[in-house]
């Protein structure tokens, strides 16, 4: 990994860590945390570092997650796993792009897991 990419990731990590949490109306204004699990998922998929272009894209998208979470009054999809973990997706259109944010609950804590977009 070259120095400029490393610096870009560290700058994104610093911005990500400033968020802390966002209250989400879809969950009764419960706090949705921006923790290390979500940031690691932006960098990796199934344990492997994402392709550089996909990694950069995810890091550029995550600031939109705050708006999606803060303004969503309902979730789009829900999935529960045998181990008790749960996933929800929230959607919002911003600037003619449709954003989907994935929220995960693990051990009673809901946190940001991922963001995707479509034009």
pLDDT digits (tens, 9 = 90+) for 37-54: 999 999 998 889 999 999
pLDDT of residue 107: 84
How do residues 26-39 score in pLDDT, each as one tens digit? 999 999 999 999 99
Where do the H-state alpha helices sit in 1-119?
3-19, 36-43, 52-71
The domain in which residue 15 lies consists of 3-118
Mean pLDDT of the chain: 93
pLDDT of residue 119: 62
Nearest to 37 by CA among 112, 115, 87: 112
Per cent of the chain over pLDDT 90 is 83
pLDDT value at residue 108: 87
- Residue scoring higher pLDDT (95 or 86): 86
Burial classification of residue 43, based on how many CB atoms lie within 10 Å of its CB (0-12 exposed, 13-18 middle, 19 or more buried)? middle
Give the chain's domain count. 1
pLDDT of residue 118: 87
Instruction: Give 1's pLDDT tier (boundaries 50, 70, 90).
Output: low
């Amino acid at each position: 990994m070259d120095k400029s990419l490393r610096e870009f990731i560290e700058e994104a990590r610093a911005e990500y860590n400033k968020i802390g949490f966002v209250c989400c109306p879809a969950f009764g204004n419960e706090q949705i945390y921006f923790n290390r699990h979500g940031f690691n998922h932006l960098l990796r998929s199934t344990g492997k570092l994402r392709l550089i272009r996909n990694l950069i894209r995810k890091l550029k998208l995550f600031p939109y997650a705050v708006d999606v979470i803060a303004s969503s009054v309902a979730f789009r999809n829900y999935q529960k796993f045998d181990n008790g973990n749960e996933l929800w997706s929230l959607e919002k259109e911003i600037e003619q792009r449709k954003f989907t944010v994935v929220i995960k609950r693990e051990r009673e804590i809901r946190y940001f897991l991922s963001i995707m977009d479509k034009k």
